[in-house]
Structure 1
C-alpha cells in the first residue's frame, strides 16, 4: 500500500467559541475568494420562511433558486448585503441547466461576461454596488462555470456556449494548475501559482467536471487533474477522518492540513468548504471516487445532528448547524449504499434552508439534490433517494 504523505492534525486540537444561535444559516467565507479578500463574515439570517421544506426535485429546486436569488442575470447574495461572487454566477448557470431554462442561462452568462470576465478570460471574484471590487479569480467558480457552459452547449444545442466553456477550461488548465509528485492539482487562484508549498482546497476537486472538460477539450491535463486530485484526496482520508477546508501540497507530494489559504484565520477544520468534497465525489461515475465520498460516513454519523464546524476527527467546534453539513452526510450515505439515510439528511438540509433562507444554503440544497438524484450536471448518482 502506498504510504500516506499527509501530516494529520490531532482531532480536538483546535477549539473555537460556539455561537449563540442554533443554526449557522450562511457564511461568506474567505475560501470563496482570494486570501486577501478580508476576514470571514457570518451572515444574518433572513426571517424564517414558514413554508416548510421544498420538495426534493432537482428541477423544481433549480427553478426556485433562479426565482429567489437571480435578478436580471445576477445572482444576488441578499443575506450578504446584496453583492455577487463568481461562485454564485456559476451556481446560477448550473441551476439553469438543471431547470432547462435557456433564457435564464443566457441572462446569467451575459451578465457574467459583461461584469466579471477579465481580459484573460477568467472570472473576477466579487462585484458590489455596480463594479468589480476584487478581480482575483477563484478556480472553483471558473471550473463550475466552464462545466456549466459545456453542458448547456450540449443541452441547448449551442456551439457558442460549448466553445465558451472550452475556452475558459483551457485558461484554467494553463494558469491555475500545477504538477507535483502527486500529479497535477488545481490551484485555488492565480495568487497561489508561485508559492510552494501550494495552497490547496480539497473541495474544489470535481471528478465529473474533469471528465466533462476532458471530453470537451481533448486536453490530457484534465485526466491528469483527475488522477492528481484523487491521489491527494486519498492521502487525506488515509490520515484524517474528515477532510480539511484548506491544505497545502508540496512539490514532493507532502500534503498538510492548513487553517486557511495562507495558514492564518480559521482553525484547521471541516467547515463550510470541505463538505462539498463528498458531494463532488459522490456524483462521480467512477466507483473509486464514490468510495472516497463514503469514507467519512462513520465519523459524520456519530451524532444525529451534524454541526457546521468540526475538527478533523469529527469533534464539534460549534453548536450551529448548516444545510451543507446535512447535504454532505447525505452524499456520504448514498455513496455507502444507505439510501434511506441519504434521503433523511437531504430532507433535513432542505428543511433547514427553507426555514432560514440564505444564498449558500439554497444553492447547496439545489446542487446536492441535482448531484445525487439527477444526471443533468453530467454525473452518475441518479435515481430517487
Structure 2
C-alpha cells in the first residue's frame, strides 16, 4: 500500500545509494535546512547583517567574516539575509558602494570608544569571496545589479591586488598596501581558492585568472616540500621562499588550502596535481595521527592538535581522494549543531565547519567552470 511518506522515503534511499558517487557522507542526506549555519547566525550575526567575531575581546568584524556569511546565505537560499549582510558590508566597510571601493578588512571599537573602520586596507581573499558571492547570487537569483557589482569588484582586484612577478606571472597580493618590501613580495596560499579563479576566468576572459590558477599550484609545489602548505610565503629572486615575517609555519591560514583543494571539481585539470602537492595531511591521518595545529613546512614536523574546525576542513580533502572511512571518523568527532549552540561561539572553527561539513553534506558543489551548484537549485 502506498502512503504519502513513501516518495520521501524513496528519495532518501536514492540519495543514500548515490552518496558514495557524490562524495557525500550518507548520514547527512536527511538533514533539513542548515542547522549549523543557523546556530552561528543566531549567536554572531546582528540583525542588520554584521558578523561579529565573539572569540575576540573587541567583538570585531572583518571583511572575511562578511564574505563567508554572504556565501553561506547564498548556499542557504536566503535572499533577505544575503541583502542585509551585503548592505552592512557596503555601508560600513566600503563607503556605501563595493563596486567603487574594496571593503576595509577590519571594523570595531576605536580608541575613543566609538565603532568604525580600524584598518582601511582591503584583504584580497575576502574581496574574491565577496565578488564570487555577488556574481553567483546575480546568476542564481536573476539579479543583474549584483552581477554588475561583482564584476566591478573584480576590476578593482585586477588593478590593485594583482601583480606580475618576474619569471612567474600574475599573483595575488594579500592586499593593496604593505606586502612588497626589501625585494620580497609576500603571498598567502590560502587566499587563492581555485574554484573561484575558474569562475572569474569564465566571466572575465581577458583577466589573469587562468594563469593565476596555474601559479597557485606552483606556489604550493615550491613551498610545501612535505605536502604541508604554509600560512605565508614570499617571492624573492625568482622563487617562492619562506615568508620573512611569519616564517614557514602552516597553521590556521593554511588549513584552508586543503579545504579548497578538496572542493575543486574533479574535472578540473589541476585537481589531482593540487591534491598531490598537499599530500601531508593525508599521510598523517593514514598513519593514525591527528592533524597538527602547527607544522614546520620545511621539515614536515608538527605540534599540537587542530580543533574541530581543522577536522571539518579536511572532510572535502579526504572525500575527494576516496578516503570515506577517514572522513567518517572525522565527521563523527564534530560537535552537533545543538552542542555548538550550547558552547560559546567559536567564529573561525564554525566557519571552517560550515565550509567543510556543509560540502560533505552535499549542500553545495563547484562546477568545473567554478559555478556554484547549491542543493536548492
TM (norm. structure 1) is 0.76
Query: Cα gap change, 1:274/1:121 in structure 2, threshold over 3 Å: closer, same or farther?
Result: same
Give the corresponding residue for 1:246.
232
Correspondences of 1:207-356 after superposition (within 5 Å): 207-237=194-224, 239-250=225-236, 252=238, 254-258=239-243, 263-264=244-245, 266=246, 268-285=248-265, 286-293=268-275, 295-296=279-280, 297-312=282-297, 313-317=299-303, 319-350=304-335, 354=340
CA offset at residue 300 of structure 1? 4.6
Give the corresponding residue for 1:3.
none
Alpha-carbon displacement from aligned partner over 1:40-72 (angstroms, at most 9, x marks no partner):
xxxxxxxxxxxxxx9686843333332332112
Q: Which of 162, 167, 191 does residue 204 from structure 1 map onto?
A: 191
Runs of 5+ consecutive residues of structure 1 not aligned to the other structure: 1-53
Measure the CA separation in 2 of the matches of 1:382 and 1:301.
31
Query: Cα gap change, 1:161/1:245 in structure 2, threshold over 3 Å: closer, same or farther?
Result: same
Measure the CA separation in 1 of the matches of 2:74 and 2:220.
28
Is contact 1:247-1:255 (8 Å) kept? Answer: yes
1:242 aligned counterpart, secondary structure: coil
Measure the CA separation in 2 of the matches of 1:349 and 1:170.
39
Correspondences of 1:37-116 after superposition (within 5 Å): 59-71=34-46, 72-81=48-57, 82-116=59-93
Runs of 5+ consecutive residues of structure 2 not aligned to the other structure: 1-26, 110-114
CA offset at residue 345 of structure 1? 1.8
CA offset at residue 121 of structure 1? 1.6
Measure the CA separation in 1 of the matches of 2:237 and 2:209.
19
Q: Which of 336, 358, 369 does residue 370 from structure 1 map onto?
A: 358
1:219 aligned counterpart, secondary structure: coil
Query: Cα gap change, 1:143/1:107 in structure 2, threshold over 3 Å: closer, same or farther?
Result: same
1:199 aligned counterpart, secondary structure: strand
Give the corresponding residue for 1:125.
105
Using CA pairs below 8 Å that are at least 6 residues apart, which structure has the higher relative contact order?
A: 1
Is contact 1:284-1:290 (8 Å) kept? Answer: no
CA offset at residue 303 of structure 1? 4.1
Is contact 2:102-2:127 (8 Å) kept? Answer: yes
Is contact 1:242-1:299 (8 Å) kept? Answer: no
Q: Which moved more, 1:108-117 or 1:149-158?
A: 149-158
Alpha-carbon displacement from aligned partner over 1:305-355 (angstroms, at most 9, x marks no partner):
2232222244333x3532232134333322321122123224434459835
1:191 lines up with 2:177 in the alignment: yes
Q: Which moved more, 1:366-375 or 1:331-340?
A: 366-375
Query: Cα gap change, 1:349/1:290 in structure 2, threshold over 3 Å: closer, same or farther?
Result: farther
Measure the CA separation in 1 of the matches of 2:176 and 2:192.
16
Measure the CA separation in 2 of the matches of 1:194 and 1:321.
31
CA offset at residue 83 of structure 1? 1.1
Is contact 2:51-2:69 (8 Å) kept? Answer: yes
TM (norm. structure 2) is 0.77
Measure the CA separation in 2 of the matches of 1:68 and 1:290.
38
RMSD: 2.8
CA offset at residue 202 of structure 1? 0.9
Measure the CA separation in 2 of the matches of 1:175 and 1:244.
24
Is contact 2:285-2:326 (8 Å) kept? Answer: no
Alpha-carbon displacement from aligned partner over 1:9-36 (angstroms, at most 9, x marks no partner):
xxxxxxxxxxxxxxxxxxxxxxxxxxxx
Q: Which moved more, 1:120-129 or 1:108-117?
A: 120-129
Is contact 2:122-2:175 (8 Å) kept? Answer: yes
CA offset at residue 377 of structure 1? 5.8
Query: Cα gap change, 1:267/1:182 in structure 2, threshold over 3 Å: closer, same or farther?
Result: closer
CA offset at residue 255 of structure 1? 0.8
CA offset at residue 356 of structure 1? 5.8
Q: Which has the larger Rg?
A: 2
